[in-house]
Every structure is written in C-alpha cells, then in structure tokens.
Structure 1
Amino acid sequence: MTTSESGITDIRSSRIECLDGLRALAAIWVLVGHCLLLTGWHVPILGEPDLGVDLFIMLSGFLMVFHYQLRQDKEPWQRPETWLKFWTRRYFRIAPLFYVMLFLALALGPYLYESRIIIDDFLLRPHQAPERYLDSGLKNIVAHLTFLFGLVPNLAYRTPLPDWSLGLEMQFYALFPAVMLLVRRLDWVRSAVLVAALGCLIVFVMGLLSIRFPMPSFLALKMQIFLCGMLLAGIVHQSRPRPFLYLALALLLAALPFGGEYGLGKLLIREALVLGFFALVLYRMLPGMAGRVARAIAVTLSNRFFHLMGELSFSIYLIHLLVLQPVAALVITEYGHDLAAPLRFAIVVAVVLPTVTLLSWITYNLIEVPGQKAGRFVVQRFGRKNQPALETTPAE
C-alpha cells in the first residue's frame, strides 16, 4: 500500500480533527471582518468577511460529500427516500434558528436601520437600501420562509441578517443529489468540470440579460467554491486516489472570476484557502515536516475551545449583525472622532464578541439542538414508515 493510500485509509476510519476549528475560524472571521468594516479600520484579509463565507461554503461542500460517503451503504443515493432524508436533515439544521432570527430581525428593522445610518454617515458611505431593514411585507416573508429569496435579485438581500448565504446553501442542498448521481455515472473530475462549465454558462447568460444580484445568493455564482470542498472530500473514498489532480482542479475552480469581488489579492487568498484546507484535512498524505506541521495545526483546531465555537458557528453567523450595528452606532455616537479607528474597533469587538458568543450558546441549546433532534425524529419515523415496503420488495 502506498503512503497516499495508507493516509486515505486512516481518514476513512477517523474523525477529521480540524473541521470544528475551521467552522469556528470562518464564523470569527466574518464577525471580525464586519466589525472592521463598521468601525472604519482597514486590516488586509481580516477585513474581507466574504472570504470567511467562502470558507464556510467550502466546508459545506466537503461535509456534504463526506457524510454521504459515510452513509452510502446504509442510505444508497440512488433511492429517492435517501434524498428526502438528506433534505429533511438539512432543513431542520438551518430552518429553526433562521426562522426565529428572521422575525426578530424584521421586528428590530427600524432600530437597526437608524443604527446603520449613523455608521454610514460617520464613515462617509452611501446609506443602505431602506427596504433591506424595513420590508416586512408578506412577499418578502414568504420568500424567506421558503428559502426561495436567493433566486430573486430584489429579494436576495432584503433583511438585516447575512442570510443571502442561507438561500445559496439551500439551493446547493437541492442540487446535491443530482451532482452525486452524476459523479456515480461519470467520475469526480469530469463531473466537477461539467457542473462548473454549466455554472459558467449560466453566469454568462445572466450577464447578457443584465441580471445582477446584490450578493452572490444564486448558486451558479458560487458553485465553483462548493465544488472545491466536494473535490477534496471526493479524495477520501477513492480506491486509487489522485489527490494532487483533484487539488489542481480545485485551485482552478477557485480562480473563476465571478461570485463576488475579484482582484489579485482576493484570488491569492482564495487559492491559499484551498491549499490550507487540503493540508489540514489530508495532512496524513503530506510528507515529512509539512505533514507534521499540518497535523499539529489540525489537532489544535480540534481542542475543546474550537469544538465549542464550531458548534456555535451558525448562531454566531446569524446573530452577530443584530448586535454589532447598535454597538458600533453607540460607540460612534458617544466618541466619534475622539477615538482612532483601531481603538474604536477594539472597543466594539470587546463588547460584541462575548455578547454574541453568549447569545449563540443560548440559541444553540434552546433552538438548534432541539431542531436537530426534531430532524432526526422525522427521519427515523420516515425510515420506519418505509421499511415494510422495502422489506416486501423482493417478494414482489
């Protein structure tokens, strides 16, 4: 057995240490990035919260494939009931907390809009569109409750939450079974190229039709980032893995120039995210010192702190702007230009980070955990309901 094959076997039979830590880092990156943007202090890389969202997206692509591979013997993907179980789990993972935070955000909309006006005036920026904070109409609410808002440009960015990525995520879940069936029919490389080419074609047509999304909430704009994570997960269960071919393709996909702001700096950071993700998840395949360093970082990212913050990452992501904007507006109102931007940022982070973490711990235990249990209950009931029919199929 080669070194690569031995490393893959180890991964199949073990927990991937760094995933909790990477989720935690992505959530903290988004929070800190927004703190920087709303206090007027520019720090390279950290001040780009959209790159933290890209890390979330890559993680999502990886985790969906990894979990699929773990369950494929028990839940064959060619069965439609497997798709229903998958969609049910994902719905109950996201919807309960999102629905609670959605109605809270809509209720607080006027207050949050006043806070944002204070921030934008102080930083000499154009005001946010008022409908993002003030639209409590039935059309907007229904679009968000059904997760269809990401498909409509004028509804995709219409609440005080950073929820555009949730609409994107739900579109990915809807398409995921079809992509995995395509992988079964073809292979990972050809499937990824075909799906990415289709995404590029859709983006090109959108450009011809002058269809513009205020945020990249439409799946074609970010499918290439999901594919990066999917490809790295696809390495794990290959009988004869070709890790560096998959890595090279992931790097090419991450370089596609759409789905957000692009320039040389952001291109290099996205490429670094792919390389770092590969190294941390598949460090057993790296030789010598590189493997040892990557392993040390991966193990650190699995400690109790990062595990807790990883569990809270979804709550942190959804809650942080509801706390951050009033706090930033208060600091600006009280101190204005008397504080330098770094000190203004430090004060805001010192208030926002622990507050959001505490609120996230509360919502995780009161909303997310019960929601996940409800999802498992529904899946189990669904499985029991269908089991007799499955057992009588051979006799038929």
Structure 2
Amino acid sequence: MKPIDTKFLDGTRLLLALWVAVGHFYTYTGGKELISVPLISDILLSAGPAVDGFMIITGFLMMYHYLLKEKKEPPSDKTTIFKFWLKRLVRLYPIYFVAILAAFVLFKTNFQYVHSNYSFFTGKEASFGTTFNSAAIPGMSDLFSHLTFLHGLIPGQNTSLLGPAWSLSLEMQFYLVFPILFLIFFRNEALINKTLLLFTGASFVIGFLAPKLFGSWDSSGILADFGAPSLIVFKLHFFVLGMIMACVALKRASRFHLGMWILLVLPFQGRWTILVTIGIITLMFSDDVKRLVHPRVNSVLYIIKQCLSNKAAKIGADISYSLYLTHMIIIPIVVNAVISYTDLGVIQTAAVSLLAFLVINILVSLILFKVVEETGIKFGRVLIGKIFSKRTNEIPVKREV
C-alpha cells in the first residue's frame, strides 16, 4: 500500500484544539452576555463539531496505520491487538494523568475563580450544568473514575472534574473496540463489500438513538442523563467515517462506501459538523476533487493544505493534545489574574485575558510536550519493546525433523 500525504492533519488538529479552547474561554467569561458577534459567537459556543473532527481524524489515523502495518503486524494476532492497546495507553496517559491531577488539586480554587470571573464580565451569578457546577463538586470517586477512564461511563462524573476529559474516555472506548471492529468489518476487501454498508447504517442508527436513550447537553434521556456524549454509541459513526476514509485512501475500499456515509449520515448532522466533515474529506481527497472543480478552487485548496502542513503546523500538532486537555485548568487562573492586577474595562479585560491565556496555554503545552509527552513516548517504546520481545523469545521454535 502506498502512503498518502496526511500532513494537513497537523494544522487541522491545532485549529480544532484552539476552537475548543477559545470556545470555552468565551463561555466561561460570559459568552453572549459579554459580547455578541454575529456568526462568531455561534461558532464559539458550538465547539462540539471540533470534537467530532478529532474523532474523524482518530478513526482515520488508527485505520491508516493499522493497514500500513498489517503485513508486519497481522491484525488477527493477539500480540498485535495487545500492542495496539498498550501503545495507545502509553501515548495518551502521561499528559492525561498530569492534567487530571492538576484539575483535581486546583478544582476548588478554579471553581471560585470561574464564578467570580463570570460575575465580573456579566454582572450575573454563574450557573454551569457540567464542570464547575455548584451542586456536583468532585470527590475521590471522581478522581478514580477519571484516572481509569471510566468517568465517561458514569452519568454525573463524565464532566465533573475536567470538562474536555469526557472525550478521552470516549476515545479509549474506541481504542478498546477498534481491533475487534477491524476483524469483523475491515479484514479484507471482500468483507468490506459485504458488511461495511450495514455497519455504517447501524452506527448511524445507534448514534441517532443514543441522545434519546442516554440524554444530551440539553435534554435528559429515557434511560439515563449523561449530558456529554461520552459513550461510544454517541459518536461511533464519526470514527467509522475516519476508518472508511483510510480504507479509500489506501485502496482497501471503494469510494462508494464514503459516498454512502455522506448520504446516510451527514444530512442529519449540525451545520458546523457538516462543514468540518466536508472540509476534512475535501482536503484528504483534494487530488480527486481537483478534477471536478475550477482551477482557482484547486489553488485555494493547495494553499490551505500548505498552511496546515508547514513546520508551525507540526509544532501545533505536537502541542494540540496538551492544549486541549489543560486549557480549562488555565483559563480561570489567567482571567482572574488579569482582573485582579489590571484596571481595565470589561471588554479590554476580556481581550487581554484571551491573549494572555493563549500565550500561557501554548507555552505550558510546549513544556508538557517536551517534558512529559516525549518522555512518556520514549518510555512507552522501551516498555513495549521489552514486553513483546520477551513474548517473542518465549514462543517455542519448532525443530525440523
């Protein structure tokens, strides 16, 4: 299989992380109560599509690398499956562990800051339904469930400690089932042709029913009230799209399956999710798109891909995970400091706070990437190498007679 150019995903991941971070900054400083900007306010208050974009990218990258390595690491081999799970854990856990502990230790302080900050900007008392909800202060059980990624399975705990962490539980659920889904639906082209359309339809139906059964941000469910879509059933169809895109890109599946996902699932998504999805698909398959559109459109797509693929974008991709996980820890502290140590108007305070927050969050993320994440990745490689080289040596060698 011939690898394709996926560098544009670097800048895309940074933009999605910034969308979530700035969106939360806007929300916790008053949102439209502070200032209402047509279109921009709606985009910032609707950061969910950015998380959907992350899930598409995750599904793509997992399938893409799984397919590229399948000759060296057979997907049906138990060693391959356990190695995949361990790789994902050691890749995500170091930064995650630091973020969860920091969020827990600083929660009471940040709780006070968030509520006083909101009052400063709006003149009103804050009322948050998820993180920093005065009726749901996290305790040791919340810490335990977050450290074990189980919080996404527990209503009331999935967003109790650190808002963005619900999506990490969801991501771990996907990693858990990914090797199994691969063997059931993606093992070879014949199997894909027989089952993938059914799988696409099933994932959409499950995703459509999930909010009704388990609740959503705005409403309770028949069976439970999760609030955040932290169960895999909510978002499986986005992971499936990424998996299909990888199969199409590596000629494992025909464009028919991608087209069917678009026809079956996309019309039922929100407008910003539709735009994010179309954007990722268009950039991924820009070589195919250029045959169908005006040359000027191709030029624009080329420029966008180049901007999302440069060295700055690579650095952005490196820090995007840390930025995504830590921004809600940093926002309350930075905003409160600006309020306390300056004598500016409300709008000026918000502007200075936003600039200071972005600079500090990026610097903290760079430090965490270098000190924690890279160290964790190196340790993970050594650990995985030792574990699986030992297992290989323990396999008895059959002697020829």
TM-score bracket relative to the smaller structure: 0.7 to 0.9
- Conservation of the 8 A alpha-carbon contact between 2:103 and 2:161: yes
| Distance in 2 (alpha carbons) for counterparts of 1:284 and 1:141 | 47
- Equivalence for 1:162: 164
Post-superposition shift, 1:191? 2.8
Post-superposition shift, 1:202? 5.4
Matches within 5 A, 1:104-253: 104-122=102-120, 123=122, 124=124, 125-127=126-128, 128-130=132-134, 134-137=137-140, 139-184=141-186, 186-187=191-192, 188-200=196-208, 204-206=212-214, 209-238=222-251, 242-243=254-255, 245-250=257-262, 252-253=264-265
Moved more, 37-46 or 60-69: 37-46
| Distance in 2 (alpha carbons) for counterparts of 1:45 and 1:255 | 19
- Aligned with 1:45: secondary structure? helix
Identity of aligned residues (%): 27
Post-superposition shift, 1:227? 1.8
- Aligned with 1:129: secondary structure? coil
- Conservation of the 8 A alpha-carbon contact between 2:10 and 2:309: yes
Post-superposition shift, 1:200? 4.4
- Equivalence for 2:218: none
- Equivalence for 1:96: 94
Q: In the alignment, does 2:279 pair up with 1:271? A: no
1:211-270 CA-partner distances (Å, limit 9, x unpaired): 11121111111112222222212211225x53264044146334446xxxxxxxxx1211
| Distance in 2 (alpha carbons) for counterparts of 1:68 and 1:34 | 34
Match of 1:326 among 305, 314, 333: 333
- CA gap of 1:394–1:365, structure 2 versus 1, over 3 A, is farther
Aligned letter for 1:387? T
- Conservation of the 8 A alpha-carbon contact between 2:104 and 2:161: yes
- CA gap of 1:243–1:393, structure 2 versus 1, over 3 A, is farther
- Equivalence for 2:302: 295
| Distance in 2 (alpha carbons) for counterparts of 1:52 and 1:345 | 23
| Distance in 2 (alpha carbons) for counterparts of 1:210 and 1:121 | 35
| Distance in 2 (alpha carbons) for counterparts of 1:391 and 1:349 | 61
What's the Cα RMSD here?
Answer: 2.6
Aligned letter for 2:56? M
- Aligned with 1:312: secondary structure? helix
Aligned letter for 1:126? S
Moved more, 72-81 or 192-201: 192-201
Post-superposition shift, 1:47? 3.6
TM-score (norm: length of structure 2) = 0.84
- Conservation of the 8 A alpha-carbon contact between 2:143 and 2:161: no
- Aligned with 1:84: secondary structure? helix
Moved more, 120-129 or 48-57: 120-129
Post-superposition shift, 1:94? 1.0
Q: In the alignment, does 2:279 pair up with 1:284? A: no
| Distance in 2 (alpha carbons) for counterparts of 1:245 and 1:214 | 31
Q: Which has the higher contact order (CA 8 A, sep 6+)?
A: 1
Q: In the alignment, does 2:387 pair up with 1:382? A: yes
| Distance in 1 (alpha carbons) for counterparts of 2:169 and 2:263 | 25
Question: Where does structure 1 differ by over 6 angstroms across 4 or more consecutive aligned residues?
Answer: 334-337, 393-396
Post-superposition shift, 1:294? 2.1
- Conservation of the 8 A alpha-carbon contact between 1:161 and 1:321: yes
Q: In the alignment, does 2:24 pair up with 1:34? A: yes
- CA gap of 1:35–1:206, structure 2 versus 1, over 3 A, is closer
Aligned letter for 2:171? E
- CA gap of 1:368–1:195, structure 2 versus 1, over 3 A, is same
- Conservation of the 8 A alpha-carbon contact between 1:251 and 1:274: no
Aligned letter for 1:129? N
Moved more, 282-291 or 310-319: 282-291
- CA gap of 1:245–1:41, structure 2 versus 1, over 3 A, is farther
| Distance in 2 (alpha carbons) for counterparts of 1:274 and 1:221 | 16
Aligned letter for 1:225? F
Post-superposition shift, 1:78? 0.8
- Conservation of the 8 A alpha-carbon contact between 2:4 and 2:249: no
- Aligned with 2:35: secondary structure? coil
Q: Size of the alignment, in residue pairs?
A: 372
1:321-362 CA-partner distances (Å, limit 9, x unpaired): 11111222344567799333xx44321221011111111111
Match of 1:359 among 364, 385, 391: 364
- Aligned with 1:271: secondary structure? helix
Aligned letter for 1:360? S
- CA gap of 1:41–1:74, structure 2 versus 1, over 3 A, is farther
| Distance in 1 (alpha carbons) for counterparts of 2:303 and 2:99 | 37
Match of 2:14 among 19, 24, 27: 24
TM-score (norm: length of structure 1) = 0.85
| Distance in 1 (alpha carbons) for counterparts of 2:142 and 2:77 | 35
| Distance in 1 (alpha carbons) for counterparts of 2:310 and 2:263 | 29
Aligned letter for 1:36? Y
Post-superposition shift, 1:363? 0.6
